[in-house]
Amino acid sequence: MKKKITTLILGLSFLFIPGFASGQDLLIKNGTILTVTKGTIPQGDILIIKGVIKQIGENIEAPKGVKIIDATGKYVIPGIIDSHTHIAITASNESSEAITPEVRIRDVLNAEAPAIYTALTGGVTMVHTMHGSGNPIGGQNIVLKMKWGHPSEEMIVHEAYRTLKFALGENVKQSNFFTTTSRYPQSRMGVNAIIRREFLKAKNYMEKRDRYLKAKKSKKSSKNLIPPRKDLRMEALADVLRGKMVARCHTYRADETLEFINLSKELGFKIACFEHASEAFKITKELVSEGIGISVFLDNWAYKIEAYEGIAYSAAYCTKKGVLVSINSDSSERIRRLFNDAAKAMKYGGLSEEEALKLITINPAIQLGVEKIAGSLEVGKHGDIAIFNEHPMSAYTRCDMTIIEGEIYFDRAQYLKEREEMEKKKKAEKDKKKKGGER
């Protein structure tokens, strides 16, 4: 079976590997370049060859035939990364059962979802599309590049960590449904108990397999040995225990967050990031000592009682305390305003421009394991870029162009032109109809 999968992957790999199949050449000239990690270049150029940044500096000469974008007066930043969304999929939560780590978001991708285009209009080039928060243990998430117009398999970012969605609190207890439900667990006690149960089952599953392998090798006759059945659900959890997948856990209250950290230590798995974590500012001590980051809203709060103590200062405060913080949208509408949310971290908590910009670029990249290819403008990284007409932290800014691996996926000027033509066509049709009527 493994051989088949490997051959399949290899066979289609030329479609998968970004930068080699679809990467293009582009030269962006004369913009204010905010590299995020290596300072600002007031009037700089970026040269992208075959989708990868080849050069960043001043007065770069354009190689022959390379398309040039004039960014005079504009701001050039790394493509924004939204680390928690549910876009580009046709189903988000397998609610029929509480524990479903065997389901994979990559099985329900939809490359034609309009939300992908919406994301591009907000300068977002990469998203972490996740399973919903309706299950204590949900499914396997995926990281996608917003390559609008391309088939779904070309959007998958294979460099990213494999992540498994966990969730705590009101959503998994189904306590905000219109009618009462009867799916266990219905309390926070049950949520922790069921997570513990599943990991212990997975450990048991792994132990059985180890015993079988050992017994097979031993001198004593192994002719009566039946190999244990391979179970996709247990395999997924086993991968988490083996460190091949990391947990990303949806949580609100500080107490449940701490209890989950305890669970992870008790059972032996790694938490990559807490999602939403609206009370993270209460437990920065623990988050820093455990080295766990958070992916939060800036100021979306008070929609549930467990979110009633989420404060707008949390993102900035946690950053200052040394927690790795990213800002997410968790919404196909808010995804186009992530840069506005990041700017609010300057007002609520006093982050600097650069620190605020990190919240939507390099920080989510590190959390997702893609910092080698995205999150900042550095030579060798992918040419994923967003161009704004004002400073991205200004309320008056607007994204004018979004580029992925050197290819322009969103161009406001082009959009306006197409709209104008469409309006002209409509008017001409209307006039024709009128004339026809007059006759």
Place of tokens 């004369």: 30
The stretch near other proteins (CB under 8 A) out of 73-81, 112-120, 155-163, 240-248 is: 112-120
- Rule CB under 8 A: say whether 180 interacts with other proteins: no
Tell the smallest beta-carbon distance from residue 367 to other proteins (Å).
21
The stretch near other proteins (CB under 8 A) out of 46-54, 205-213, 357-365, 391-399 is: 391-399
Among 224, 413, 435, 437, binds other proteins (CB under 8 A): 224
- Contact between residue 329 and residue 119 where contact means Cβ atoms under 8 Å apart: no
**Which DSSP letter does residue 42 get?**
E
Pairwise CA distance, residues 85 & 131, whole Å: 9
Site for other proteins in 114-173 (CB under 8 A): 114, 117-118, 121, 139, 151-153
Among 27, 34, 47, 108, binds other proteins (CB under 8 A): 108
- Rule CB under 8 A: say whether 97 interacts with other proteins: yes
- Rule CB under 8 A: say whether 176 interacts with other proteins: yes
- Rule CB under 8 A: say whether 258 interacts with other proteins: no
Residues 6+ apart with CB under 8 A from 432: none
Tell the smallest beta-carbon distance from residue 65 to other proteins (Å).
27
Distances (CA, A) of 35 to 5, 17, 350, 358: 39, 25, 21, 10
Pairwise CA distance, residues 172 & 188, whole Å: 9
- Rule CB under 8 A: say whether 102 interacts with other proteins: yes
- Contact between residue 406 and residue 181 where contact means Cβ atoms under 8 Å apart: no
Element (H, E) at 385: strand 385-388
Pairwise CA distance, residues 283 & 79, whole Å: 31
Site for other proteins in 272-301 (CB under 8 A): 281-282, 284-285, 299-301
Tell the smallest beta-carbon distance from residue 103 to other proteins (Å).
4
- Rule CB under 8 A: say whether 209 interacts with other proteins: no
Side chain identity at residue 52, one-letter code: V
- Contact between residue 182 and residue 150 where contact means Cβ atoms under 8 Å apart: no
Tell the smallest beta-carbon distance from residue 428 to other proteins (Å).
15
- Rule CB under 8 A: say whether 229 interacts with other proteins: yes
Site for other proteins in 53-92 (CB under 8 A): 90-92
Among 99, 124, 164, 385, binds other proteins (CB under 8 A): 99
For 150, other C-beta atoms within 10 Å of its C-beta total: 18
Q: How many residues bind other proteins (CB under 8 A)?
A: 86
Pairwise CA distance, residues 29 & 419, whole Å: 27
